[in-house]
């Protein structure tokens, strides 16, 4: 007669119920059934797990199979897999280059109109410029720009990017820029009277930049209207409010990004 007529084979080994594996994430509450110690996962040391109970006491336990209880049921704790590191982002929004070594500056340059412009560009794009080996230099006005370009001596490997304040139609700045005829020079600009205005008002905790009458120094007028003291004090307030590209108006962002692309383009 066939064996199944007698029911289950009494000599067979019963199947063990599989104990679930649970990742021991920090904060998971488990119990050690041997000692009755109940606590939350805190960390791992020497291949063991550290539990902390509600009184702040910590104990070390081996990660044995079915060695713990969760909600009264046996589980096997598994150490979490290392999480991949997220790339660090620079103030300009680019991926930070770790372990950056100082390199010799390239022949190409970026010129900006003044010290404040240079400091703001450094605050946002400084890491990117060091990666590329590009130096930013203050120009101190655009009146002599054509002459300065001639003195610099441009070439395909020696390009110039120039950032101009208040570059709008029919302005003095626009007339100067229109005189430049050099394929190795790119001039970009923003519409603001001063680089301060390229910082979003919300970043410096004001509703809007004050309108300053013509004939009055713009920075002086702003500091008087806003009670910021001397202009150097006002600039420290403005610069200190900038932590990333999100604090900068899009007109300036686009202008500087185009300059960086221009002076770093590979040459055949």
pLDDT > 70 in the chain, percent: 89
Q: Look over the chain and give the mean of its residue pLDDT values, rounded to a whole number.
A: 87
What pTM, to 2 d.p., does this model score?
0.66
The DSSP annotation for 174-210 comes to: HHHHHT---TTEEEEE-S-SSGGGGB-GGGGT-SSPP
| CA–CA gap between residue 171 and residue 190 (Å, rounded) | 12
Least-confidence region, from 40-54, 93-107, 134-148: 93-107
| CA–CA gap between residue 174 and residue 214 (Å, rounded) | 19
> Which phi-psi region, left, alpha or beta, contains residue 177 (left: φ > 0; alpha: ψ -120 to 50)?
alpha
- Check pLDDT > 50 for residue 1: no
pLDDT in the model for residue 102: 60
Collapsing DSSP states into helix, strand and coil, what is residue 119? helix
| Per-residue pLDDT reduced to its tens digit, 175-199 | 988 889 899 999 999 999 999 999 9
Q: Which residues pair with 155 in a beta bridge?
A: 158
What's the distance, CA 155 to chain centroid?
33
CA 20 to each of CA 41, 47, 61: distance values in angstroms, whole numbers, following the listed order = 17, 20, 18
| Per-residue pLDDT reduced to its tens digit, 30-82 | 999 989 999 999 998 888 899 999 888 999 999 999 999 998 899 999 888 87
- Check pLDDT > 70 for residue 209: yes
- Cβ atoms of residues 149 and 184 within 8 Å: no
Q: Can you give the length of the chain in residues?
A: 268
pLDDT in the model for residue 80: 85
- Cβ atoms of residues 105 and 140 within 8 Å: no
pLDDT in the model for residue 100: 64
């Amino acid at each position: 007669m066939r064996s199944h007529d007698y029911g289950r084979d009494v000599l067979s080994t019963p199947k063990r119920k599989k104990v679930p594996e649970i990742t021991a994430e920090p904060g998971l509450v488990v119990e050690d059934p041997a000692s009755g110690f109940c606590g939350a996962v805190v960390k791992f040391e020497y291949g063991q797990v550290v539990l902390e109970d509600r009184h702040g006491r910590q104990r070390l336990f081996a990660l044995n199979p079915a060695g713990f209880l969760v909600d009264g049921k046996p589980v096997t704790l598994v150490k979490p897999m290392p999480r991949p590191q997220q790339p660090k982002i620079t103030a300009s929004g680019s991926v930070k280059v770790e372990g950056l070594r100082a390199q010799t500056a390239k022949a190409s340059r970026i010129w900006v109109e003044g010290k404040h412009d240079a400091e703001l560009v450094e605050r946002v794009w400084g890491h990117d410029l060091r990666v590329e080996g590009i130096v930013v230099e203050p120009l101190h006005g655009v009146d002599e720009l054509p002459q300065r370009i001639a003195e610099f001596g441009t070439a395909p490997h020696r390009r110039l990017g120039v950032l101009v304040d208040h570059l709008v139609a029919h302005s003095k700045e626009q007339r100067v820029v229109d005189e430049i005829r050099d394929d190795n020079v790119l001039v970009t600009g923003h519409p603001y009277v001063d680089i301060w205005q390229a910082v979003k008002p919300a970043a410096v905790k004001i509703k809007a930049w004050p309108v300053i009458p013509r004939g009055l120094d713009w920075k002086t007028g702003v500091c008087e209207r806003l009670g910021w003291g001397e202009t150097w004090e006002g600039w420290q307030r403005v610069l200190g409010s900038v932590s990333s590209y999100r604090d900068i108006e899009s007109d300036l962002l686009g202008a500087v990004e185009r300059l960086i692309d221009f002076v770093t383009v590979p040459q055949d």
